[in-house]
Structure 1
């Protein structure tokens, strides 16, 4: 199966480098995506540009792909399911939840000169980053790409309710499946509350399992 891999904010396709070999050994064709504005140098990129890049990868796949979104890119994966419900085999969400219609994509931290830079590790202290050693933290921070505000402030638009028929797997790293189910049940994640097929998978990691637990993450994705 083709597995489209979409990393979260500040990351490009290389974030998946340690995940790809195991997926290939399991017989899959991983396709890490480098998004407009997150690795291609397009500082003027918009959320629509990123959605278009994901849709192009789906349309180029020889058969229905699995679409994997990490962190903020969980919303990108869900937007893809909304735009191509008949062409997506499954959506996998890692450490995040899809935004609802009309919400900003990821307007989370202060922007400077038209981009939102990585804010440092302060906001991520605790379960998010507890499993990252100093070398991993330095590596992630050094490679972090400021994300254009045309992406982060872009409004999510969801139009096709057939997205709720697409199977979803929620991979739970820094939170537990029970916590995720509680948030969904409380109405905090309306999109997943309406999804008809949601499975929950636990992984013992922080927010970046592709860095700290790449082999285990690949096995979960490839199983």
Structure 2
């Protein structure tokens, strides 16, 4: 069975993967869910965290080749981790996100703010993050446990090396908010900046899986997401 490292997106810790991780373990997979540096509310130095710190934490969680699963904003340190140590990853699965281009900044409007907090739900949706499938209990848990993202992660540019070794890592995009055809066309046409890096991958190393739901499928469709991750990771 596969060995997987699960990296959650902005505001989240390892807890966000609880249901999915349980489903994967029941299927026989070996799973490590991460709380990335900067997203532990009890860490007094968390606001000093950078994307590089998070990327090194991901690499450290993969002493041997693993399947890396990255959700949302975790695409930034995840892709950087494959740039730093491509040999540590047998595949990367991006959940409602994608490998991002050099220089990409998640929140360019952050300015001098030290961190990026979870906004109210109307703003979250206005920013393009679908809440489809999340009930009031899920939203309340999210709000209660969310940790603001340090500026060194949310407001810093992604800095990749000149090496193309990261492009040799097999990659799967699990498309939830945006259908795979939209992502595919956006990458090919070069019309969507966040998909610019996707266009650089060899099509034989890149595939897409659709799971129609909102931006947080680990809560809205945990069983279905776990089944997809299990199947892709164990090819």
When normalised by structure 2's length, the TM-score is: 0.87
C-alpha spacing 1:90/1:70, structure 2 compared with 1 (3 Å): same
Choose from 197, 201, 211 the match for 1:203: 211
Q: How does 1:18-37 map to 2 (within 5 A)?
A: 18-37=19-38
1:30-54 C-alpha deviation (Å, 9 max, x unpaired): 1101111101522221111111111
1:53 aligned partner: 57
What are the ranges of 5 or more consecutive residues in structure 2 without an aligned counterpart? none
When normalised by structure 1's length, the TM-score is: 0.92
C-alpha spacing 1:212/1:112, structure 2 compared with 1 (3 Å): farther
Q: Secondary structure at the residue paired with 1:17?
A: helix
What are the ranges of 5 or more consecutive residues in structure 1 without an aligned counterpart? none
**Structure 1 runs of 4+ off > 2 angstroms?**
108-113, 123-127
1:142-165 C-alpha deviation (Å, 9 max, x unpaired): 111011111112221221201111
* d(CA) in 2 for partners of 1:102, 1:202: 28
1:143 aligned partner: 145
* d(CA) in 2 for partners of 1:101, 1:212: 31
Contact 1:111 / 1:117 at 8 angstroms: preserved in 2?
Answer: no
Q: How does 1:183-194 map to 2 (within 5 A)?
A: 183-187=186-190, 188=192, 189-194=195-200
- Say which structure is richer in helix: 2
Residues matched between the structures, number: 219
1:122 aligned partner: 122
